[in-house]
Structure 1
Amino acid sequence: MAAPHAIDVMDREGMEAGEILTDSSNGDAKRPQFGTRFLTDPRQVFQHNAWDNVEWTVEQEAAAKKKVLENSEPLPTEKQDEFDCRANEYWNDFYTIHENRFFKDRHWLFTEFPELAPKSYPGHESLSESANAEDIQQGVPKQEHNNEGSALPNMDAEFPGSSASYRILEVGCGVGNTVFPILKTNNDPELFVYCCDFSSTAVELVKANPDYDPDRCFAFVHDLSNVEADFPVPDESLNVLVLIFVLSALHPNKMQASISRLARLLKPGGVMLLRDYGRYDMAQLRFKKGRCLSENFYVRGDGTRVYFFTQDELNEMFTLAGLEKVQNLVDRRLQVNRGKQLTMYRVWIQCKYRKAHSQLQDTQG
């Protein structure tokens, strides 16, 4: 089995090279929020590691579409079935080979997703606080109710983190690139973090990390595509669900059911946060002939798979799952390798969708 290209490793775990915008002149590694660094003078392209909201020319977009079309001949069905059946094996091999060599804190997390930050984070109001504020304004008692007036499922039953009041679950956690920054940054005693991955090897690496604290975190193996599989938490018990470069690893036919199942876990007012590959990202354009499984769905050299989304596709999935749009944007970025004087065009999509306060579990049907 061929080892994945180095940039594939960075794509899947720890984000892409240059994601942290470091200013070499002052050593400042604090990442500005998306959409704040613009390239107005092409002669200055190598001044920073990345530029936001980069406009593509008509020629550039046409070339990208042509490249995708040229390499869109799908592999035979039997070969596609093999990659589907052996998906777990390929991901376990991936983490066995690379272990922690690709671990990299996602420093942009709390800038783009303040829902993951501690309550004391500047300018941040937690979901539970904002939900209570809305309830008070509307004259609703603090206890949460569904739209039939009956109490929501009893949270007193014992399960990991059952005593916490603010619960976050990351699906597709890898080796903990999101989980550990949250635990290290957020010391709120009311917080409990769950994380799961399809790969048992990845989950073992998370549990072996010295920052793993079973009193504040629970890691478990879970196949997101298996909607019949149980979660260790009851429905309507989570404040935040995080999917970072994980939905794209599923077979497209299984995505909708998986998102709908996850939506059931959210409390009313809870949010689902997603960051994933956008259509015509550099990673898609790098695929050669013989790697396409179906339209915009590919297999890498190590057997793992990846899909490239449009905003409309994701909006439809979240909406059908009963969630309301808070954010759905394209992060179209020009990344720069200043050492090699190379430029790379990246396209990611970032989404936030909220479960309505009045919503009963109508996605269960």
Structure 2
Amino acid sequence: MNGGIGLEEEKEAEYYSKDFEWEELRSHVENDPSFSHHLLPFQPQPQPQLLQSDSHAWKRFHIRHSSGKFFKERRYLLKEFPELVSCKENSKVLEVGCGNGSTILPILRGNENIIVYACDCSSEILERAKEIVNDSNVVALRNRFHPFYCDLSVTRFPSWLACNQCRDLNLQTQQSCLSDVRINNNNKANSDDAYSLEGSGCCKGGVDFITLIFTLSAIPLQEMPVSIKECFSILKPGGLLLFRDYGLYDMTMLRFEKSQRVGFREYNRSDGTRSYFFSLDIVRDLFVGAGFTEVELDYCCINSVNRRKGKSMQRVWVHGKFQKPI
């Protein structure tokens, strides 16, 4: 038993990604004078108060929204990325920017043999994610969930996940690299050491999947190539990076004022958090430029209804799958 929402219940729901055509939305936006400030070339101006503390802004965001009311499982992900259900036993997934666990729980429940590593730039939200997984009352979920602190915008992934030697060898042989470090695995759930080393190996040897779900858009555009290359380096050959993020002309983009622009298609919210809105070409250039092979890439265009206000909102997200060459 996986607990919570089962696969049979998931199968009953239909998932649509083409409620409207993106090209029609594009034509509407680009011909509407009220949206013209989104289309103009951006003239950068020194704004250190906006650019120097993106991670701190997200930490504050997570503290403000740490309650269960803000938590909503992304159950649609198993339909978008069925590879997470059909993968081989003991496959490893790295969720980058896990937040409060809205992506983690569906993955753990959808595949009882999968192992999930999850990182975030906020220690507080990692604790919240652990609480949510623990509250599931399914011991098997807790045993397969390994959170750790990492701010991908400023640092590399820890060496216990994939050491330099494994990265350099491109993980082709899947041989454990030797280490004179030994630890006693005593189930310290909070410590990287509790699950970083096994036997005589010095690292996990990388992961089979990486999920980047509404995470890359929070990183400044100029820093994205380095972050994507870091993901590439710890993914096993043949492994998949599963991507979902804000798409160009999404409703939230069109709501930003001109004063909130901090780059071309890049905005700062009133709370200091950042958001970039992707076109397919930009996503393709970023991932292919890092060495990935494109498997799937498209816009998801969804009419989302706010029942309380009785309004229909046109949401645009980018869906992508990218593979590390074998």
TM-score by length of 1: 0.68
- Letter matched to residue 181 of structure 1: P
The whole-number CA distance in structure 1 between the counterparts of 2:130 and 2:38 is: 40
The whole-number CA distance in structure 1 between the counterparts of 2:93 and 2:291 is: 19
Match of 1:272 in 2: 241
2:137 equivalent to 1:168:
no
Shift of 1:95: 1.2
For residue 82 of structure 2, the aligned residue among 105, 109, 114 is 114
Shift of 1:270: 0.5
Number of residue pairs aligned between Structure 1 and Structure 2:
269
Q: What does residue range 202-221 of structure 1 map to in structure 2 within 5 Å?
A: 202-209=125-132, 210=134, 211=136, 213-221=141-149
Which SS does the other structure have where 1:174 is aligned? coil
Match of 1:103 in 2: 71
2:174 equivalent to 1:249:
no
Shift of 1:229: 4.9
Residues 279-288 or 228-237, more deviating: 228-237
- Letter matched to residue 284 of structure 1: M
* Kept in 2: contact 1:335–1:345 (CA 8 A): yes
Match of 1:68 in 2: 38
- Letter matched to residue 110 of structure 2: T
Which SS does the other structure have where 2:15 is aligned? coil
The whole-number CA distance in structure 2 between the counterparts of 1:205 and 1:178 is: 13
Shift of 1:66: 1.6
* Kept in 2: contact 1:329–1:351 (CA 8 A): yes
Higher relative contact order (Cα pairs below 8 Å, separated by 6+ residues): 1
The whole-number CA distance in structure 2 between the counterparts of 1:203 and 1:232 is: 19
- CA distance 1:293–1:193, change in 2 (3 Å): same
Match of 1:179 in 2: 104
Shift of 1:292: 0.9
Deviations 1:276-313 (A, max 9, x none): 01111111110113211111111101110010111011
Match of 1:224 in 2: 152
* Kept in 2: contact 1:31–1:107 (CA 8 A): no
Identical residues among aligned pairs (%): 34
Match of 1:335 in 2: 304
- Letter matched to residue 194 of structure 1: Y
Deviations 1:185-222 (A, max 9, x none): 3212xx21100111122112112232485521110111
TM-score by length of 2: 0.75
What residue ranges of structure 1 are gaps of 5+ in the alignment? 1-26, 38-50, 120-125, 129-163, 358-365
- Letter matched to residue 264 of structure 2: E
